[in-house]
Structure 1
Amino acid sequence: MSRSAVIVGAGIAGLATAALLARDGWDVTVHEARDEIGGRAGSWQQDGFRFDTGPSWYLMPEVFEHFFRLCGTTAAAELDLVPLTPAYRVYPEPDAGAGPATPVDVVSGRAATRALFESREPGAGAGIDAYLDSAADAYRLAVSRFLYDPYTSTRGLRDRAVIRQLPRLVPLLVRSLHRHVARRFRDPVLRQILGYPAVFLGTSPFDAPSLYHLMSHLDLDEGVLYPRGGFTEVIAAVARVARAQGVQIRTGSPVTQIMTDAGRATGIRLADGTVHDADVVVSAADLHTTETRLLPPSQRTYSERWWRRRNPGPGALLVLLGVDGELPALAHHTLLFSRDWRKNFGAVFGRGDGSRIPDPASLYVCRPSATDVTVAPAGGENLFVLVPMPADPALGHGGVDGAGAPAIEAAADRVIAQIAEWTGIPDLASRIRVRRTIAPADFEADLGAWRGGALGLAHTLRQSALFRPRNASRKVAGLYYAGTSVLPGIGLPMCLISAELVAKRLRGDATAARLPEPGTTRATDRTV
């Protein structure tokens, strides 16, 4: 007999879950409230400029490859992936009145990384070799033992391979990433290069467990790719794969209630009152929104008291700029690092004299037009600027052409001036043709993001692995969760794994291994 599933939300997690369940024989329909798919990985265009409004780093390529292979295709068949050289550029905060600091280009690969570190700090070349060896070991352990574990039991944690690693793992869990890096390197820019990946995890290097030094394996050892056409092409590819399995995707179809009967999910109710019955429901929407808006209090796994004690990760000020003329001072990925690292993160996460938009800010600029002619008109450049800021919707909405909240637009003006000064583009502001800002209030209103967080629950120790919300409701049978709020965490690769965890649960697979790809008996993870 046919089994049916309805999925709430057509971000990458919802689309990937749909594809995997349909591949397993489920009759799947996805309902998306907005008129376009993608969720956080959205898109916006004006006057010939097309902007990704979310993820912009293509890391962990083997996770994408594994997903596509599960669906009978490959990443190479679905995407045009371009390696980036340099992987990214760094501008340290310049001395007052001294003009732009000399940029630091980070080129992936062990030899180039060793040379960079040695050039800035004698002896650091050997130090980064040892650091990246440890990062690679930690990454392999995470992929083979932790990320694909649904934690329906403690079986994976009791695995002898994990137990053997405990003497090394425990210090990495209790020591912060900042402390771990500072013990090994003195140069402030090198420390920032190794600490900044904590932001990808929705936290700061002062709060992230040092186990997450594994992130440096991705950009320094493996390299950074870009999907030509932008990250909307990644979403389009996952949607295309899902439809090829028979999935129906319905946009402009907001869900207002998860229907239950006798403690079991039975379907969903749409805003127009239509009820769609199903054997299982998967919500790939924000977990807090799912439980507080779509379920009654008695059926919520996580109480408001539980949420009040959680870290939502940072908010973000996004500034989308269409600029006339070329901007060679900026690489495809460029990072600006403020000198007072601790003060910067204190502003974002509410320490010291309180949370606020940092000034000057440590920020990120993506210039996809450096690689992709499709994202800007001839003679123009496309800039996506991300400034980590407090997850606080009260700071206001963004807008087009300066129409956002005064505090948001004033912050954007400061950011534009900072980029101009630090990177040596004095006429940047006068060359802007298109401008849009996006702020925490927009993340809350448009995406249902809890507290306006830009990424999802921060990867602190108490919000990682078995301490993170699971992929199934404890109160409602047949109700499952996917996305950045739940296991395994933040980012497009994690969302693909989250989808796989739902598929594993429905298969009754409680192992920590990946699902077997077609033609194999079990996904091949290297022994740790």
Structure 2
Amino acid sequence: MDPRPRVRRAWPIVTSAGQRAVIIGGGIAGLASAALLARNGYDVDLLEQQETLGGRAGSWAQDGFRFDTGPSWYLMPEVFDHFFRLLGTTARAELDLETLDPAYRVFFEGFDEPMDIRADLAHNVASFEAIEPGAGAGLRAYLASARDTHDVATRRFLYSSFQSLVPLLRRDVLARAGRLLTLLGTPLETFVAKSFTDHRLRQILGYAAVFLGSSPDRAPSMYHLMSHLDLADGVSYPHGGFTRLIEVIATLAEKEGARLHTNVVVTAISTTTPHRGRARATGVRYQASDGSERTIAADVVIGAADLHHTETDLLPLSLQTYPQRWWDRRESGPGAVLVYLGVRGELPELAHHSLFFTRDWTGNFDDIFGDNPRVPDPASCYVCRPSATDTTVAPPGMENLFVLIPVPPDPSIGGGGMSGGGDPTVERIADAAIDQVATWSGITDLQERIVLRRTVGPADFVADLNAWSGGALGPAHTWRQSAFLRGRNASRKVDGLYYAGSSTIPGIGLPMCLISAEILLKRLRGDRSTEPLPEPA
């Protein structure tokens, strides 16, 4: 089966010569929007407040180490392939991709041996069967369902602006209506438990919810489609890291004529005087790198920064589609403490991606998302060791580790710092995670081998990214915050104001942000279809 999204190839290219667009935010959604709009005839300026582009997908380097500061999983390759083809190139031409094997390694509390998820499906089926008789066949059935759900979602939901529900009334959707409604109404945790008994297998399949900023008991089982991405399709890595991905998209945007500006802080979205509750966007006001206040006119303004910030800080209350009272009824994805470590010597005990799952899985998520949030202890965590694959991210004889510990989205947890100099709570969380990784993986001298350490906490996400509630990802994918129930990608009160990125449709993650840029272009074209845009010949 061709893994690429089905695209319409007869739809004509529509250009907008003379239309000026200003994009707020230079993360992947903003850069992708700049590239697509510039290719379609818009005169594009992108404004980014930080010194470098990338947003959450940033980069930090010191003492010969280079760290991706955010996303580290290359999933849904068909989305990247389709995006690059829209720009007249391919992922293969732009990126040096390597398939990881193992795709990732999982350490379970109370078990001496980790479990490897491999690039080979047959191996994964055998691994499931070895743990639980019958689970191998159960995995094949589960992944067949995941593939079917993925294909329907790609054709009918992921690329839709949901301006009209009529395009959703297609035979393939109607034939699955009962099943799709069941998947939306059933938690992922419950869905997984119907087919698997061993808690380790349930954790591997339930972890997909974390990629969506949610938990297995809160995410709809519609998202079991995520399991096909790693267990069957495999996991890749772009050499040079995700910094390289950002560089490539930025270069393509500039090649199309977009102007990318850094060190500029947008302070307000300019509008006409409201009439009967509506206004029109006319540009933005911003503070230049020299401190001067300036304005830039535009026919279209795209908020590709955090949607909460765009709405509540850059617009007056009377023109906010999503005021603070709307956010007060929404659920953030998790916060995170990030730890960047330079380590002396090799660490073969860890794969490129390693997951550390505590036995009290439910308690962990309740600590983060429950009514009385607190930092889990012990906490499940994720470790990326890109130096296992990429020699450019660490000096010879050294290893690069990125540790992510999910915590409540609470800025009061504090911010990080260098060499243990962050806020005390953040540093305690980091110390506990390092000790846990060392103990579970058998790297008993890990602490002593650390030569470089930097931490980041929820307060840093607010300061650096204007992240709502200090969340690391964006609004969680619960049933009330998925598909057409998620924030829409256009203002209801300001004509000419649109949105892209993880806060809006279709959701969290690098592939979703690329799709959000494409949905934006479709909306500007008046295209209400659900399919991906046609690709150039």
Amino acid of the structure 2 residue aligned with 1:395:
I
Q: CA deviation at 1:163?
A: 1.3
**Aligned counterpart, 2:523:** 505
Picking from 462, 468, 482, the partner of 2:500 is 482
Q: Who is 1:287 aligned against? A: 307
Distance in structure 1 (CA, Å) of the matches to 2:120 and 2:330: 37
1:427 corresponds, among 445, 461, 486, to: 445
Distance 2:260 2:294 in 1: 16
Counterparts of 1:11 and 1:268 in 2: how far apart (Å)?
18
Q: Which residue of 2 aligns with 1:219?
A: 230
Structure 1 CA distance for aligned equivalents of residues 227 and 168 of structure 2: 24
Identity of aligned residues (%): 61
Is 1:493 the counterpart of 2:504 in the alignment? no
Superposed, which structure 2 residues align to 1:19-418 within 5 Å? 19-94=35-110, 101-262=112-273, 263-271=279-287, 272-351=292-371, 354-418=372-436
Give the distance between the partners of 2:212 and 2:119, measured in 1 at CA: 20
Q: How far apart, CA to CA, are the structure 1 residues paired with 2:448 and 2:414?
A: 25
Cα contact 2:306–2:503 (8 A) shared by 1: yes
> SS at 1:156's partner residue?
helix
2:232 aligns to what SS in structure 1? helix
Show CA shifts across 1:242-283 (max 9, x none): 011011001011111110014100001112221100110001
Aligned twin of 2:471: 453
Alpha-carbon distance in 1 for matches of 2:502, 2:106: 28
In the alignment, is the contact (CA less than 8 A) between 1:282 and 1:481 conserved in 2?
yes
Any conservation in 2 of the 1:155–1:511 contact (CA below 8 Å)? no
Aligned-residue offset at 1:464: 0.4
Q: Find the counterpart in structure 1 of residue 7 from structure 2.
A: none
Q: Which deviates the most, 173-182 or 160-169?
A: 160-169
Alpha-carbon separation, structure 1, partners of 2:305 and 2:479: 23
Deviation of 1:304 (Å): 1.5
Give the corresponding residue for 1:98: none
Alignment deviations for residues 173-218 of structure 1 (CA, whole Å, 9 cap, x no partner)? 1111111111111111111110011000000001011111000000
Per-residue CA distance 1:82-121 (angstroms, 9 max, x = gap): 00000000110026xxxxx101111133211211111111
Give the residue type in structure 2 aligned to 1:299.
Answer: L
Cα distance in 1 for partners of 2:167, 2:474 equals: 25
Other-structure match for 1:517: 535
Q: Give the secondary structure class of the aligned counterpart of 1:150.
A: coil
Structure 1 position 167, deviation (Å): 1.6
Q: TM-score, normalised by structure 2?
A: 0.94
| Counterpart Cα distance in 2 of 1:437 and 1:357 | 16
Task: Report the residue type matching 1:219 in the other structure.
Answer: D
Deviation for aligned residue 1:403? 0.8
Distance 1:400 1:375 in 2: 19
Partner amino acid, structure 2, of 1:52: D
Counterpart CA distance in 2 for 1:432 and 1:503 is 46
CA contact (8 A) 1:350 1:390 kept: no
Q: Distance in 2 between matches of 1:403 and 1:350?
A: 30
For 1:53 and 1:81, how far apart are their aligned partners in 2?
A: 19
The aligned amino acid for 1:396 is G
Q: Which amino acid aligns with 1:199?
A: V
Structure-1-length-normalised TM-score? 0.96
SS of residue in 1 equivalent to 2:141: helix
* Secondary structure at the counterpart of residue 518 of structure 1: coil
Q: State the 1:159 CA deviation.
A: 2.3
Matched residue SS, 1:285: coil
Q: CA RMSD in A?
A: 0.9
* Separation of aligned partners in 1, 2:264 and 2:322: 26
* Contact residue 99 and residue 119 of structure 2 kept, 8 A: no
Matched residue SS, 1:274: strand
Displacement of 1:75: 0.5
Letter paired with 2:106: V
For these two proteins, the number of residue pairs brought into alignment is 512
**Structure 1: which amino acid aligns with 2:101?**
T
What CA distance in whole angstroms lies between the structure 2 residues aligned with 1:156 and 1:115? 41
Does 2:457 align with 1:439?
yes
> For residue 17 of structure 1, what is the aligned residue in structure 2?
33
Q: Which runs of 5+ in 1 are unaligned?
A: 96-100, 520-528
- For residues 269-317 of structure 1, the C-alpha deviation after alignment (integer angstroms, 9 at most, x for no partner) is 1122211001100010000000111111011001211110100110001
Contact 1:60 1:218 in 2 (8 A): yes
Q: Hey, what does 2:20 align to over in structure 1? A: 4
The aligned amino acid for 1:162 is V
1:42-66 Cα shifts (integer Å, max 9, x gaps): 1111111110010000000010011
Offset of 1:161 from its aligned partner? 2.0
Matched residue type, 1:405: D
- Measured in 2, the distance between the counterparts of 1:278 and 1:210 equals 42
Residue 422 (structure 1) shift: 0.5
Q: Are the equivalent residues in 2 in contact too, given 1:108–1:223 (CA < 8 A)?
A: yes
Distance in 2 (CA, whole Å) between partners of 1:210 and 1:105 is 24
Rounded Cα–Cα distance in structure 2 between residues aligned with 1:144 and 1:130 = 22
